[in-house]
Amino acid sequence: MSGENTPKTETTTSTSNDVFRRIVSGSGMVSLLAVVLSMILGGVLIALTNDRVEETASYFFTRPTDMLGAAWDAASSAYIALFQGAVFNWDAKSTAQMFRPFTETLTVATPLILAGLGVALAFRAGLFNIGAQGQIILGATFAGWVGFTLDLPVGLHLLVAIVAGFIGGALWAGIAGVLKARTGAHEVIVTIMLNYIAINLVAYLLFTPAFQNPGSANPISPPIKDSAVFPLLLGSGFRLHLGFLIAVAATLAIWWLLNRSTIGFELRAVGANPNAARTAGISVSKGYIVVMLIAGGLAGLAGVAQISGTERVLTGGIAASFGFDAITVALLGRSHPWGVFFAGLLFGAFRAGGVQMQTQTGTPIDIVLVVQSLIVLFIAAPPLVKAVFRIDVKKKRATSPTALTGGAA
Amino acid sequence: MKLELQGITKRFGSLVANDHIDLVVEPGTVHCLLGENGAGKSTLMNVLYGLYEPTEGSILVDGKPVTFKGPGDAMAAGIGMVHQHFMLIPVFTVAENVALGDEATKAGGVLDLKETRRKIREISDRYHFDVDPDALVEDLPVGVQQRVEIIKALVRNAEVLILDEPTAVLTPRETDELMDIMGQLKAGGTAIVFISHKLREVKAVSDVITVIRRGKVVGTAEPSASTTELASMMVGRQVSLSLNKAPASPGNPTFDVENLTVLSSTGQKTVDDVSFTISEGEILAVAGVQGNGQTELTEAILGLQHHVRGSIKLNGTELVGKSVRDVIRQGVGFVPEDRKEDGLIGAFTIAENLILNWYDEPPFAKGPAMKPAVVRDNAEKKIAEYDVRTESAMATVSTLSGGNQQKVVLARELSRPLKLFIASQPTRGVDVGSIEFLHKRIIAERDGGTPVMIVSTELDEVSELADRIAVMFHGRLMGIVPGNTNREVLGLMMAGMTADEALDQSSGSTATDPGGQP
Amino acid sequence: MSAATVQPQQETVADHVGVKNWKAPVGFAIGALVSLLMFAIGSPDQTAIFRISADDDRFRLQDVHLPAPTVGWVVTIVLAAIAVYAFLQVRKGSHISRWAGIAFALFFVTGFLTWVVGSANTPSISLAGLVAGSVTLAVPLIFGSMSGVLCERSGVVNIAIEGQLLSGAFAAAVAGSISGSAFVGLLAAAVAGMLVSVVLAAFSIQYLVNQIIVGVVLNVLVSGVTGFLASTLLSRDPELWNNPPRLPDISIPLLSDIPIIGPILFKQSVVGYLMYFAVIAIYVGLYYTKWGLRVRAVGEHPQAADTVGINVNRMRFWNVVAGGGVAGLGGAFFTLVAVSSFTPDMTAGQGYIALAALIFGRWNPIGAFFAALLFGFATNLQYVLSIVGTSVPSQFLAMLPYLVTILAVAGLVGKSRAPAAGGVPYVKE
């Protein structure tokens, strides 16, 4: 019913290409509507679980406005708190404090952007890198060890830590890349498994003398030395650190790599049509390895941002859930470097604001996860969003000609 | 059961695969559909089997019109089909494959394969199929797999059996066995639609022959018609050369293939001890029915095949064992057979596709940095030079028509100094207007002194371009003949005769074209 | 096209250049090397004692004493011999016997256990306790991997097992708590798992969204929704919302007294018995019924199934939904059997181990069952060993399931053959 221009029954290209095509080809409108729709649904969830709403619901039929008002209050106050916690807090005492939330957003967005770039880059080469979590952990572990063990001059120490973090993440992702290239092992499974191995590995390391803080019985490392800490950008009143500028630089670098370099040309070719790439003399297996090394390195930098930027000690929870959030960031950003950057900012804002929301209105921060995942689901299926908003509802299903047969076929 | 097709038309977008085809299949007969690859035979049968809905026309069973929403309907109406690519599940046993979709069950939905096995044995014994119901399909030779497909149809009481290119994948012995089976089925009253382009087989088993060319019925013939007669009907009249091609002035033989053998990953010989040379300023066309090793031959030269033995020398440099990249850097231009799959990246811009295998060389790149402005300039020049119809060099190549896509591939491959140019099916799926243009470009490359190798299944194209013609059959070279060799001889060679045998047979009869247009 | 077109046999040439596969011998050799370094050279100078029976058992069996150095060397020699055998077979171009792999695994595990127990401060463990605990820990894994079997055998990749388990755990806690009936909780768990599946199926089959993406995102979504509700509704009134009744163990008299296998098979909660039922039902269903034949056909070669009149996408949809139900039941184990309240993210990645078990078990219900048991065993061994005080870090045991899964997908441990059409949406012309 869909492939009217080709009598071929099977699309021989890998499915990841189709996804990728879908992610890239969807319109900005759909993204915006997906965000709106997800926030509405999140608001409904907030309202449904609100005390006042529950109370007023008992007499809904005598005075429905009470309940609707309560629902609106619950959702809107939560979102206002979220906004105040993420962008601008007009209730703060000083001007600096008013803008503080935005710097928090940038701080939280830093690892999200870096790891998101790693996931996105792999997507562009046709690989699903589900392993950012493990790569962040390894990056943080490498950088952390450099940070609290070595004694190096100011400047050099931080630089070595950054490089070490990159290498740590790159090695970890490289395992998946090499196995994919040499044995065909599916990178999704390998990276998922490597996540859990990384979690256990760091848990083990934190009990060894090389990593455990002397005198502590807990799995926690010594604090990293000041020379390996990212300088704060706005003074001690704000957490925003140099790592954010690295994220900006990384975004630029990856944009250049993908769109302006021969390596990027190769990677995109491998991702879009491995057969044509092979015929053009591009090594597909080398492409897989290279892209995983760089992708892992980026996630490793996210680990550096964590340990040298905000956490300053290595713990088992160093990666928080950034590795998984990075996947949603990459998807929302449609695997374009600047798309990832802004998606990272958005989800960073959700996270930063979510904390404020939780303390101010008691709305659990988990709502951020809900909204985030809904956004990605809706973006992945544009026809669904279009159907909800009654735009452009065609009889035809998700399969726009480019999405399926796509040039890649 | 009598089956009639009336005015069946099937369009895919702008492509007309079947154009008002009429066909009557009588019970107890073998009705052959003869036509070249791409003539529209398989499409017609997929319409008949309910896999495609016809754009126009109707299907009649015993005089009553029927509509098939899916294969289930066709099967219920008594039509069975053996697809060119078998619809068998490799990890299932024969019995499981036969039972699928029509399973006998005991209480609770438990499979009762006993009944299926019994039926398989019964059919197998009746027609001497020698099929073990408990064998795994993936372990069976292709000929036996095909019999499983036939059993699948017979178990469902098929009265019309469609065999789509059944001998394409068979060895000669298996082909003979299939002919026997067809005879027995016919004797039992089954109507058989036999789709083929192999003349001898068609003559051997058919009662009626319908010839299809470019989606249209061009005539019918008796099996007693001569092979040459059928061949000319199938491939059409020799069109007058539209190209004013200067005679070749070959120079030194710089491309030399010796004793080349290519093995598939399962160890099968796809190219079997092939040797030839091509001189500078000469076009060698490799003709043959699809799937006789031409693809593997070109891929072996480019370095895409893994198990290659023998020698491929270009200007004295051995190419066997070199990476694709190194072969390209040796000055080999390559137009792959399937441009969408292997020659272009649909999601890339035209500009990017124009440098797909040259992206990291000057002037397009300096070190790791690419130069978008140069890439774009290059694209704009090529688009003008090759008359690629597009709005912008930055449009993705998937937005182009087939002919324009092929122009992009050719523009890319011909825009650097070449030592060897290989083009597979250079005009497949290309509109008539572009064909001549592309042919002229290829000849210009020859006239510039490059050895050129063309692989084509279109005899028109082969005759038009070739200075010499090599014909491949079952991985072997049947011979190399001059470019002006008549197409009857070529047709016979494509069916497996050596050049000498073909010349002998052809000279004994006069070439006529009963079905062709004046 | 499909693999159905196997090349003619008679044309096969003598030397199969591309056919030799050295992965198995290499895998065996690595295993043997590990054994040499750890179990033999690094063997502790103690005797490992495995207690078969507890003191209060009705039937008592002798304890097993294994001197660690001797066992270490014997195991290493046997493993090396198997590696050599595999090497020779591949060089000859012959087939490696299945038993070689099984024997290798048995000896390796024996060597490993002897080594690890021998290294403990008190080198003595209860085998019965170890095994029984392993089964208990494996219950949700097995349910999860059965969900995977149902989905993936029909051609839909199910990364959402984690989310299905978590939603099942949540629904069981809430429904069980409100109704006061564990069985209502069980039913709710299955329904919740199915709901997750409906989303997975709708997005991957109807909207053709990549199945891996949907799976990953669904896991996040379920984690978010359950976490949110747990910190709002559930924490506000835990008595009402999060206080489900427990499902007790049901002992079958006499049978449950059989050493080792008694408690495993005949002293289980309802969920445990359901697990055995599910494994057997899915196994029988998949290989011996009309339904199973069609499911496997759809997962291997949807086009072939379509040409014999099977509705591929409908089949896939219902299989995914059924899979969700099964995983949901597994989720109920967390809140109705293991503990009796829901805590956010309490499944802690078990869904991913279930996925690993599915792959390690080669997409076969029985294989997945044993793989899940092995993973449960690895987890339980951590606990047991931490009690007897071993020098082996528990984290390495925890890594084991993931490590062997990586080796499995890389083809170093056996050949795992996924359903041929897995992850590929079926679009008719």
Per-residue pLDDT tens for A332-367? 888 899 999 999 999 999 999 998 899 988 889 899
pLDDT at position B442: 92
Binary contact (C4, B138; C-beta < 8 A): yes
Asked if residues A198 and A176 have their Cβ atoms less than 8 Å apart, the reply is: no
Q: How far apart are CA B293 and CA B271, in angstroms?
A: 5
Q: Amino acid letter at C397?
A: L
How close B224 comes to chain A (CA, Å)?
35
Burial class (CB in 10 A: 0-12, 13-18, 19+), C253: exposed
> Which candidate, B81, B116, B83, places its Cα nearest to that of B99?
B116
**Alpha helix (H) residue ranges in B132-213:** 142-155, 172-187, 199-205
Given CB atoms, is B277 within the 8 Å cutoff of chain A?
Answer: no
Strand B365-366 and strand B369-370: pairing? Answer: antiparallel
Q: How far apart are CA B129 and CA B145, in angstroms?
A: 11
Which residues have CB under 8 Å from A379's CB, separation 6+? A23, A26, A30, A31, A34, A331, A332, A334, A385
How close A122 comes to chain C (CA, Å)?
14
How crowded is residue B395: how many other Cβ atoms within 10 Å of its Cβ? 14
Q: How far apart are CA A330 and CA A123, in angstroms?
A: 8
Q: How far apart are CA B223 and CA B237, in angstroms?
A: 20
Sign of the Cα pseudo-torsion (C314, C319, C320, C326, in order)? positive
pLDDT above 60 (res A401): no
Where are the strands (E) in B226-367, listed by range? 253-263, 269-279, 283-287, 307-314, 317-318, 332-335, 365-366
How close C1 comes to chain B (CA, Å)?
7
Whole-angstrom CA distances from A378 to A31, B153, B421, C427 are 8, 45, 49, 21
Classify the phi-psi angles of A297: left when phi > 0, otherwise alpha if psi is within -120 to 50, otherwise beta: alpha
- Best of B299, B340, B375, B404 to disrupt the A interface (most A CBs within 10 Å) is B340
Q: How far apart are CA A263 and CA B359, in angstroms?
A: 10
Tokens at A339, concatenated: 């798309």
For residue C405, the SS3 value is helix
Q: How far apart are CA A25 and CA A245, in angstroms?
A: 29
Binary contact (C301, B101; C-beta < 8 A): no
Residues 194-213 of B with CB under 8 A from C: none
Q: How far apart are CA B192 and CA B190, in angstroms?
A: 6
Q: Nearest 5°: phi and psi at A138?
A: -65, -40
- One pLDDT digit (tens) per residue for chain B, 518 residues: 888 999 999 887 777 888 899 989 999 999 999 887 667 887 888 888 888 888 999 999 888 999 888 888 888 889 999 988 889 999 999 999 999 988 888 888 888 889 899 999 999 998 888 899 999 998 888 788 999 999 999 999 899 999 988 876 676 677 888 888 999 999 988 999 998 877 778 888 899 999 888 888 888 888 888 777 787 777 665 444 456 677 888 889 999 999 999 988 777 789 999 999 999 999 999 988 777 889 999 999 999 998 899 999 999 999 999 999 999 999 999 999 888 889 999 999 999 999 999 999 888 999 899 999 999 999 999 999 998 888 889 999 988 887 889 999 999 999 889 999 999 988 876 766 677 888 889 999 999 999 999 998 777 788 889 999 999 988 999 999 998 888 778 878 887 888 888 888 877 554 433 333 33
Binary contact (C294, B101; C-beta < 8 A): yes
Tokens at C399, concatenated: 């890594």
CA atoms lying within 13 Å on the CB side of residue C367: 17
Asked if residues B218 and B211 have their Cβ atoms less than 8 Å apart, the reply is: yes
Binary contact (B346, A262; C-beta < 8 A): no
Binary contact (B324, A280; C-beta < 8 A): yes
Query: Which range marks the domain in which residue A29 is found?
Result: 2-408
Tokens at C383, concatenated: 């606990």
Counting the structural domains of chain A, the total is 1
Binary contact (A189, C405; C-beta < 8 A): yes
User: Out of A193-197, A404-408, C272-276, which region has the weakest mean confidence (pLDDT)?
Assistant: A404-408
How close A153 comes to chain B (CA, Å)?
32
Binary contact (C13, B92; C-beta < 8 A): no
Residues 4-33 of A with CB under 8 A from B: 4-7, 12, 17, 21, 24
Binary contact (A281, B325; C-beta < 8 A): yes
Residues 277-336 of C with CB under 8 A from B: 288-294, 296-297, 300-301, 303-310
For residue B445, the SS3 value is helix
pLDDT at position A384: 79
- Residue ranges of chain C with per-residue pLDDT less than 70: 1-20, 54-60, 412-417, 428-429
- Give me the sheet containing C47-51, strands edge to edge: C64-67, C47-51, C124-126
Average pLDDT of the residues in A149-167? 95
How close B438 comes to chain A (CA, Å)?
21
Is the ipTM of this structure higher than 0.95? no
Classify the phi-psi angles of B249: left when phi > 0, otherwise alpha if psi is within -120 to 50, otherwise beta: beta
Binary contact (B101, C308; C-beta < 8 A): yes
How crowded is residue C37: how many other Cβ atoms within 10 Å of its Cβ? 11
From B143, which residue of chain C is nearest by alpha-carbon distance? Answer: C8
Q: Could you tell me which residue, A216 or C413, shows the higher pLDDT? A: A216
Q: Which residue has the tokens 């992708």?
A: A295
Whole-angstrom CA distances from A209 to A105, A139, A216, A222, B326 are 36, 19, 11, 11, 51
> Which candidate, A68, A303, A74, A349, places its Cα nearest to that of A195?
A303
